[in-house]
Structure 1
C-alpha cells in the first residue's frame, strides 16, 4: 500500500544535528542549547533551594525593582497562574514580598527582600564554574561571540519579535 503514504516534497528533516538545512534547524538548536544551559544552571540553583523559574523572577526584580505580577509573567514567559505559584514560593522562602500598589487595590507589586538579594549573589558565585563548563568546548573568544550573537538575535535592533 505504498500509494497511501504521502510523498515527501523535501529531502530535509527537521533535526538539531550539525549540517541540517531545515528551516526549523535554528529553532531546534536554540531549544537544545536552552535545555542544556537550564540543566547546568539548575545544578547551581538546586543546593540553594530554588529553580530556574524562581531565579528568572529574582533577576527581573533586581534589574527593575518592584514589579507587578502581570509584568513579571510577561518578562519570564509565564502565565498568570504560573507566576502566582512562583511568587508564592518566593514569598514562602522569604525571598520576595508582595505589596499593594497605591491607587489600585487589586494590583500587587513584587519586591525582592534582603534575603533574596543574598541568595541572588550566592547563585552567581555557585554558577560561575558551571557556566565555564557550559562553554568549555568553545575556543578563545567564542563564548563572548556566542553571547553577542544571541543577544542580537534575542533583541533585534528594529524591535521585531
Structure 2
C-alpha cells in the first residue's frame, strides 16, 4: 500500500444513518435521538428559568421525596460538584431546600418546595404539546412501542437501579 492510496476496509464505517450495520450505529442513533429530545424538552423548560439538569433533580425529588445529595448525583448521572451547583441553583430559585438529616450532621437531604412542585406541574403542562411534536412522525402505537423499548433498554430486568 502506498502513502497516496487510501486504505480499503471491509469494516463498516460507523454512522447514524438508517441501515448502518456498524456496531456503533445504535449508540450513535441513541445519541442523536437524545440530543433531539433534549433540545425539545429544554425549549419547554426555558420559560420557567430552569434547564434539564435542574428538572432531572426535581423529578427525583418528586418521585423519592427528600434525597441526600450523593443519591441525587447517582440518580441523575451527575458528579458531586455538579449536583451541588444544581441544588444551589434550585435553592436560589426557591424550588428546593437542603435540610439536616437526623443522626448525621454532615449530610443534607434535598427537598422540593411547594414552589418547586408548582413549577414541576406547570412544566409538564407546557411540555405536552412539544412532546407530541417530538413523536409526530411516528405511526399509531409507535410512540408507546418506542417508550417500551427504550425503557427496557435503559432498565434491563437484571438492573437493580
TM-score (structure 1 length as normaliser): 0.95
CA distance in 2, matches of 1:52, 1:158: 28
Give 1:109's aligned residue: 109
Alpha carbons of 1:133 and 1:115: their partners in 2 closer, same or farther (altered >3 Å)?
Answer: same
Q: Deviations over 1:121-144 (max 9, x none)?
A: 000000000000000010000000
Question: Moved runs in structure 1, 4+ residues, more than 6 A?
Answer: none
Q: SS where residue 97 of structure 2 aligns?
A: strand
Change (3 A) 1:8 1:97: farther
Q: Tell me, which stretches of 5 or more residues in structure 1 are unaligned?
A: none
Change (3 A) 1:107 1:5: farther
Alignment of 1:43-82 (within 5 A): 43-82=43-82
Inter-partner Cα distance in structure 2 for 1:107 and 1:9: 55
Query: For residue 143 of structure 1, what is the aligned residue in structure 2?
Result: 143
Residue-pair matches, total: 161
Name 1:99's counterpart in structure 2. Answer: 99
Determine if the alignment matches structure 1 residue 29 to structure 2 residue 45.
no
Q: C-alpha separation between the residues in 2 aligned to 1:160 and 1:99?
A: 28
Q: Deviations over 1:27-77 (max 9, x none)?
A: 111111000000000011001100000000000000000000000001101
- CA RMSD, Structure 1 to Structure 2 (Å): 1.8
